[in-house]
Amino acid sequence: MSIKYNDFVIRFANVNGSGSASANGMFAKALFRMGIPVATRNIFPSNIQGLPTWFEVRVSEKGYLGRREGVDIMVAMNAETLIEDVASISPGGYLLYDNSKPLAKALRRDDIHEIAIPIASMMLPEFTDPKQRSLFKNIAYLGALAGLLNIEFDVITGMVATQYKGKDALIQPNIRSLELGRDYALNYLEAPLPLQVRRSEAVGDRIMIDGNDAAGLGSVYGGATVCAWYPITPSTSVAESFENHSNVLRIDKETGQKKFAFLQVEDELAAIGVVIGAAWNGARSFTATSGPGISLMSEFLGLAYFAEIPAVIWDIQRSGPSTGMPTRTQQGDLIGAAYASHGDTKHPLLFPATPKECFDFAAQALDLADRLQTPIMVLSDLELGMNDNLSEPFEWDDSRRYDRGKVLSATDLDEVEVFGRYLDVDGDGIGYRTYPGTHPEKGAFFTRGTSRDEFAVYTESGEVYQRNMERLQKKWQTARTLVPAAEIADQGQSVGVLYYGTTALPMPEALDNLAQNGIYMDTCRVRAFPFGDEVEQFIAAHDLIFVAEQNRDGQMRSLLINELQTEPSKLISVLYYAGLSISADTITEQISDYYIENKLSRVTEVQS
């Protein structure tokens, strides 16, 4: 049998809260440290302890990071889900299970390989404490996998040493458990399997990090000094990352005091209020939330749009509507975020696709908010935010200066003859602002959500109100030129595919699959709303555009139609919204089906 290297999907079926996360994480990290591209996915319930949870690792020498359908190796550690877990294994795949209790006959499949290890029995004489026994079971499985898949054992033991540095008592039982598992695999099983790993150069200098951690770190680098937030899955770790990094990187060396304010507030209404109050008073501030939080923040977002106050909001999207599936991913908040609040409001959105982009956009969003004097929302999702992803390493140019936008200092105010907060001096729709307390005589103004004139004086004049709304529209046009441009690959094909955020992850694989079917497409990865000219041109230059996204209603497609007056029949939705991330298989299948149903010509057909 020929050996297949570095190309499989392994899934660990666990019970939530059983200590499996640490062992699972070590498995993925070990492969990553061997230079093999991995993508991890936690599939977990909205629960603290007891319910089923799965951890999936996609291993791909080619560097495909999107989700792939099918499971090649199932590590079945949860009796409760055993039936569905066995059923989900691809034909020819492997079932790794604990045969301390025999596998029910009904579960047996002819088309898969069973790998039985009596882990529970093996642990019994080793550990007297039942809790320890259960914890180290996870580690023993990892040891067995090292033997079965040929993972470099030193890499794993090295990680144990680092992870438990200072808790030496834990190192020995971990190593012992690893060895128990590995030795069983080597002595009693046909190890290694024909499905193996081997050291690779494919990772390069990439790092492995989740998007939320990257966002928190990027906010530190971008100069955020105030973070107000309310816990909500899957966004919580953005705020926690900001606090953790700040506690190391933002401590005054002399006094030990904090150069940041971190406040968990009573709800999302308060979180956005604090952010707006801080930004009004000249501090860079941000919050992180998910869809339900955006709904709650909408009133304040309208105020900030109309009163022109910077704010940065991270929306780590999850499945809606309402509480929906709070621990599953989706791209369902586009329309809600883009037009959040009553009246004529619209807000710039950024769509990061990788941890590197989370880091970069965190800093850029703070610049954009200050420059445009308006809320900027960064739409990430659970897939990117909470899973460890391969990412280009972070970079920072030390000569970079924060763009604080148009702010007048006391000296500036001494020099200007006329100050009007909402005067469009430069013709870009953006006025000059002042921070409170700047000057004893000049520059003070009253901020309000009610209509006012160019000098911030309350007015109910319809003409003045309309003039202000038109200026805000002009500012929107300025925003189009400042937000991150779409990434376009144009080979002159007549068909294109447009996508954003984590739908980018499976796209290289989907494009390769489609090319094998004779379907070639240009690509446009939208990175921000409002859409720049390049998006408009991409749409104009193609006869047909597939819009791939992870929601039911084709929200990006709606935005394109609404904002660019695109002919709707030209935009074909490719949709997935069942809670996991969109897979290359789904994209390939939906686009191929469209080609077949509509008898579109493919390159292979032309050639034949």
Which 381-440 residues touch another protein, going by CB under 8 A?
393-398, 400-402, 434-440
Q: 3-state class of 574 per DSSP?
A: strand
Q: Give the residue among 216, 141, 140 at the shortest CA–CA distance from 173.
A: 140
Residue 165 in the binding site for another protein (CB under 8 A): no
At which residue do the structure tokens 């200066």 appear?
Answer: 401
Site for another protein contains 279 (CB under 8 A): yes
Rounded CA separation 546/524 (Å) = 10
Identified binder of another protein from the candidate list 12, 94, 229, 280, rule CB under 8 A = 280
Amino acid at 94: Y
Residues from 17 through 46 that contact another protein (CB under 8 A) = 33
Residue 436 CB, nearest approach to another protein (Å): 4
Give me 17's structure tokens: 């809260």
Footprint on residues 213-252 left by another protein (CB under 8 A): 217, 220-221, 223, 225-226, 228, 249-250, 252
CB of 319 to another protein, least distance (A): 28
- Give the footprint of another protein on residues 334-353 (CB under 8 A): none
- Asked if 285 is part of the footprint of another protein (rule: CB under 8 A), the reply reads yes
Q: How far is the CB of 396 from another protein (least distance, A)?
A: 5
Residue 133 within binding range of another protein, rule CB under 8 A: no
The Cα–Cα gap between 447 and 443 comes to 12
- Give whichever of 276 and 386 is closer to another protein, judged by the CB atom: 276
* CB contact at 8 A, 300 and 272: yes
Contact status, residue 290 vs residue 263, Cβ threshold 8 Å: no
CB atoms near residue 132 (< 10 Å): 16
Q: Which of the residues 470 through 509 are near another protein (CB under 8 A)?
A: none
SS (H, E, C) 226-267: EEEECCCCCCHHHHHHHHHHHHHHCECCCCCCECCEEEECCC
Which of residues 103, 155, 265, 564 is near another protein by CB under 8 A?
265
By C-beta, is 225 or 330 nearer to another protein? 225
Considering only residues 291 to 310 of the shown chain, the ones binding another protein according to CB under 8 A are 299-300, 303
> Least separation, in Å, of the C-beta of 303 and another protein?
5
- Residues in CB range of 541: below 8 A, 6 or more apart: 490, 496
DSSP 8-state assignment for residue 128: S
Minimum CB–partner distance for residue 273 and another protein (Å) = 3
Q: How far is the CB of 41 from another protein (least distance, A)?
A: 18
Any contact of residue 211 with another protein (CB under 8 A)? no
The nearest distance, CB 61 to another protein, in angstroms, is 19
- The tokens of 30 are what? 């070990």
Residue 210 C-beta: closest distance to another protein, Å: 10
Taking the complex as a whole, the smallest distance from the CB of residue 465 to another protein amounts, in Å, to: 14
129: contact with another protein by CB under 8 A: no
- Assess contact for 215 and 362: CB atoms under 8 A: yes
Output 398 or 417, the one with its CB closest to another protein: 398
Q: Are strands 285-289 and 261-264 parallel, antiparallel or unpaired?
A: unpaired
Per CB under 8 A, the list member of 4, 194, 343, 446 interacting with another protein is: 446
Residues touching another protein, count (CB under 8 A): 71
Q: Which of 146, 208, 215, 572 binds another protein (CB under 8 A)?
A: 208
Residue among 65, 146, 274, 505 that touches another protein (CB under 8 A): 274
**CB of 248: closest distance to another protein in angstroms?**
9
Shortest separation between residue 9's beta carbon and another protein, angstroms: 23
Tokens of 56: 């999936």
Q: Which is nearer to another protein, 306 or 531 (CB)?
A: 306
| Residue (of 165, 172, 191, 154) closest to 34 by Cα position | 154
| 129/603 Cα distance (integer angstroms) | 64
Q: Of 389, 269, 380, whose CA–CA distance to 314 is shortest?
A: 380
The verdict on 281 binding another protein (CB under 8 A) reads yes
Contact (CB, 8 A) for 560 and 554: no
Which residues sit opposite 573 in a β-bridge? Answer: 547
343-378: buried (b, 16+ CB within 10 Å) or exposed (e) per residue?
A: eebbbbbbbbbbbbbbbbbbbbbbbbbbbbbbbbbb
C-alpha closest to that of 332 among 15, 69, 582:
582
Q: Quick one: which of 257, 322, 569, 598 contacts another protein (CB under 8 A)?
A: 257
Residue 261 or 561 with smaller CB distance to another protein: 261
159 touches another protein (CB under 8 A): no
State yes or no: residue 467 binds another protein (CB under 8 A).
no
Q: Considering only residues 43, 120, 186, 207, which one is a binding residue for another protein as defined by CB under 8 A?
A: 207
Token readout for 298 is 């909408």
Cβ nearer to another protein, comparing 119 with 278: 278
Residue 421 beta carbon to another protein: minimum distance, rounded to whole angstroms: 10
